[in-house]
Structure 1
């Protein structure tokens, strides 16, 4: 497992600590999860679930033929 040192100003450090506490995790876990989210190579499941949610939105074929 890698180890990284980062330097934060006082405000950022406080915000990170508060966010980790609210989520019930250690600061290092909170930062690691944020990095995983921000560097993900695919859409989150919550976004994928929206596919087809708008019944009046044209499908891919319709969009391709309107050019």
Structure 2
């Protein structure tokens, strides 16, 4: 287990202590719980765990979204680039 030193103003410290007491947790346990709730676990690439699974589970939501070819079908071709 690691130790961390943090600096807080008196108001923030008072709020943290009061919230920890109300939750019947030590200040350390309360801050640990807060961090785990606010910062999701990530995989080796920095994506939240379950990110790709949630996308796959919701893939039916964008099945009718047009393909890139359909989106670009009415675009005017680019002008030729100038040579320098």
The structure with the greater share of residues assigned to helix is 1
- Stretches of structure 2 that go unaligned for 5 or more consecutive residues are 42-47, 50-60, 72-84
More relative contact order, 1 or 2 (CA 8 Å, 6+ apart): 1
> Whose radius of gyration is greater, 1 or 2?
2
* Length, aligned pairs only: 55
Q: Which runs of 4+ in 1 moved over 6 A?
A: none
2:7 counterpart residue number: 7
Cα deviations by residue, 1:12-66 (Å, 9 ceiling, x for unpaired) = 00000011011110000000111111211358xxxxxxxxxxxxxxx3434x25x
TM-score (norm 2): 0.51
Root mean square deviation, CA, Å: 2.7
